[in-house]
Structure 1
Amino acid sequence: MSQLVAALRRRVRGGRAWVAVPVVWIAAVSVVDVLAPPDIHLGPLLVAAPAVTPMFGGPWTVGLVAGLAVLAQTAIGVARDPDELLSANHEAQILALVLVGASLVIFCVVRERRAGELRQVRYVADAAQRVVLPPMPGRLGPLRVASRYLAAEAEARIGGDLYGAVRTDSGTRLIVGDVRGKGMGAVEDAALLLGAFRVAAPYPSRLDELVAYLDRSVRRGRHDQGIHAETFITAVVLDIPDEGRDVEMISCGHPPLVVMHAGRLRVVETAHPAPPLGLGELTQQRYVASSFPLAAGGLLLMYTDGVTEARGSTGDFYPLLERIAGWTDTSPEALLSRLEGDLLRHVGGRLDDDAVMIAVKRETA
């Protein structure tokens, strides 16, 4: 909140500074026009002052500058024609300034109203996203966890990236996924899947049974919503035991995981790839779990394709493995902070798609 207030104060101070530009312009045009020969009229140039003010000012600022321009044009008319109050030419110029100023004030009022509506929509979108995706706890049993959700900065668009974690009697179950599509429909699908995961994951079922249940939940939710188009969710589901090194994994069309340990990098591919959740009925899929070791001190990185498909200024994708190779960050939070900064630098500070990053560190064997 303090950062927001500081940004608003800087914006206000910057806007006040820019007001000097049209004011100086009005003064300069007025002086030159009064001193110019009788056949040279520079008064029409005054319209430039209120015309540029909406770039940095609101309706009150625009109205003030337009009023100053009208007063300046009136003063020029009186100074150039001392025998008459105003000539017909100056009256026409004054009327034109009044009409232009009034139009610009109306434009600013409409613009600020729509900007307020957009801010409200963005606020609602952000609130909906936070309800669906509360912050990941920093510790889950013997695991240290950090998470990042980077929203695409495209108006109020909400993405369907998701993550969740549930403790069981013997370990921790994690899910990271990406819903096909954007908007509130994607958020509804993400909420449905996360709800099903949070309900079923704590029970001592096998991982393949859990994923089959999640697939049925996605299909049932699509049917209940009357959606006939294919709705699917790429996801990876993990079961990390509190004791032992082997992690069970089922990947449903999701990008591979990365394990970092002692400066070495290992890409974890599933031996039994499965289609995205929601398509199991079409493929008659039987889910089979793969396993991989995660030793004490090892960092596990999970992410969505918003990371690897983020494009730089030249159109190149973010080279995740190339960038993180050799990184020696020892905590999940430090790793994600560094990765987030590097990713945003690659894309110039603006993502075209939402991105999720989860880092998990096992602290005991």
Structure 2
Amino acid sequence: MSHARKHQHDHGPTPPEQPCGVAHLAACVPVLIVCAVALLAFVSGAGPSWLPLLAVGPALAAATSRPWGVLRIGFLAVALGAVLGARGGTSGREQAIVLSALAAVTLASSLASMLRGRRERVLAAVRSVAEAAQHALLKPVPATVGEFQVAVHYSAAAAEARIGGDLYALVPTPYGVRLIVGDVRGKGLPAVGTAALVLGVFREAAYDEPDLLDAVARIERSLARNLGPDDFVTAVVAGYPEAGRMEVVNCGHAPPLLVRDSEVTPVEPTHPAPPLGLRALTGETPTLQVLPFADGDQLLLYTDGVTEARNHSRDFYPLIEGVARHVSDVPSHTLAALHAELLAHVGGRLHDDAALLLLRKPAAVGSVPAPLNGRHLNDEGPGRFPGRGLQVPGEARRRIRDSNS
């Protein structure tokens, strides 16, 4: 929902304000134009023929200056027009017409400058409201959540509103850290309302439901009651219930990317499920994938605004290759590099909302990396690794660690 103030949970870059030097240069351009026209009229000797061009100065000033600045430039144009008309022998009637036209253009430009200023103030108010809504909906994510390093980058296609239909959330719960990244069908306020509904239900269900599939089912039921027949939300919901175990539920969304030892692997769903809100139409239910997730592993969740971003040749942005180029041990640095490359790929501005959420499990001090063979854990029973014993649940591990400290 183009989310981009610069901080750890970067929401996408805010359009920079013009530096003072640039603003002063823009304000000087109308004056330079008026002076250039007057110089040409003086040098060529055909003063009356050049006089109408003096109106360009105050007309252009309406876009760069305040009303009083426009009036000053207009006064300069009228004064030079009077001098050049008298010098060129222009008849009183012709000179009066030209000067009246210059005065009329100046007054109209001054009014246009006033209206522009009002629109800019209204736009500033809208931006502040949109930013407040964004911070209420997409709450800031700290650099560390539970056992993970986290970074988020959100960019809204509607640059003036800075909010759109993509959503994300990451919360610590009694059942481990849980997160969601999703994309609402549609744009504008309806999409924002749906995103708010999904995030609200997710935050409640993530705390209440021990089973991740039950949390997803709770979101599905809420959307079935509140969405129209053509509305839906694609989403990936993930959880880390215990050491070395990452659970993923994919509901019609782009597959997350697992980064391990600088290798990037898409986590394709074993049984594709429909987006949230469409289960009643298909009768299919999502399945739970369980991935080994060791120290140093990273999981990148994203929306289609990233992978469907096109350059001038209509080529999609190669996200997997980009992650392989820029992956580092600091998630915020990785996402900053990815976002910069993405903007360069599209030529400076995204045309769709784009969200990136990167989760990294840092190595604990004094820990020995667990041997992983890359197999899924679905057939090993809950909490077991191939060839290893029962693991201590995450909540118990935290209590033991707190008591030792």
- What is the TM-score normalised by the length of structure 2? 0.80
Secondary structure of the equivalent of 1:189?
A: helix
After the TM superposition, which residues 1-365 of structure 1 pair with which residues of structure 2 at under 5 Å, given as runs?
7-29=18-40, 31-32=42-43, 35-36=45-46, 41-81=49-89, 87-156=92-161, 158-222=163-227, 228-243=228-243, 245-364=244-363
Report deviation, 1:201. 0.6
One-letter identity of the residue aligned with 1:345: A
The verdict on how the C-alpha distance between 1:268 and 1:301 changes in structure 2, with shifts beyond 3 A counting, is: same
- State the Cα deviation string for residues 316-351 of structure 1 (Å, max 9, x = none): 211111222354411211211111111111112201
**Mapped partners of 2:248, 2:87: distance in 1:** 85
The verdict on how the C-alpha distance between 1:140 and 1:157 changes in structure 2, with shifts beyond 3 A counting, is: closer
Unpaired runs of 5+ residues, structure 1, are 223-227
Return 101-110 or 212-221, whichever deviates more.
101-110
**Mapped partners of 1:348, 1:5: distance in 2:** 17
Secondary structure of the equivalent of 1:152?
A: coil
- State the Cα deviation string for residues 204-244 of structure 1 (Å, max 9, x = none): 4211111111101112233xxxxx4422110011111342x
Secondary structure of the equivalent of 2:57?
A: helix
The verdict on how the C-alpha distance between 1:213 and 1:264 changes in structure 2, with shifts beyond 3 A counting, is: same
**Mapped partners of 2:15, 2:278: distance in 1:** 44
Q: How many residue pairs align between the two structures?
A: 353
Provide the identity percentage. 39
The verdict on how the C-alpha distance between 1:280 and 1:323 changes in structure 2, with shifts beyond 3 A counting, is: same
One-letter identity of the residue aligned with 1:102: L
Tell me if the contact between 2:30 and 2:58 (Cα under 8 Å) persists in the aligned partners.
Answer: no
Secondary structure of the equivalent of 1:359?
A: strand
The verdict on how the C-alpha distance between 1:24 and 1:161 changes in structure 2, with shifts beyond 3 A counting, is: same
Tell me if the contact between 1:47 and 1:97 (Cα under 8 Å) persists in the aligned partners.
Answer: yes
The verdict on how the C-alpha distance between 1:10 and 1:220 changes in structure 2, with shifts beyond 3 A counting, is: farther
Unpaired runs of 5+ residues, structure 2, are 7-13, 364-369, 371-405
Report deviation, 1:104. 1.8
Tell me if the contact between 2:274 and 2:286 (Cα under 8 Å) persists in the aligned partners.
Answer: no
**Mapped partners of 1:5, 1:197: distance in 2:** 34
Secondary structure of the equivalent of 1:325?
A: helix
Tell me if the contact between 2:63 and 2:113 (Cα under 8 Å) persists in the aligned partners.
Answer: no
**Mapped partners of 2:200, 2:298: distance in 1:** 27
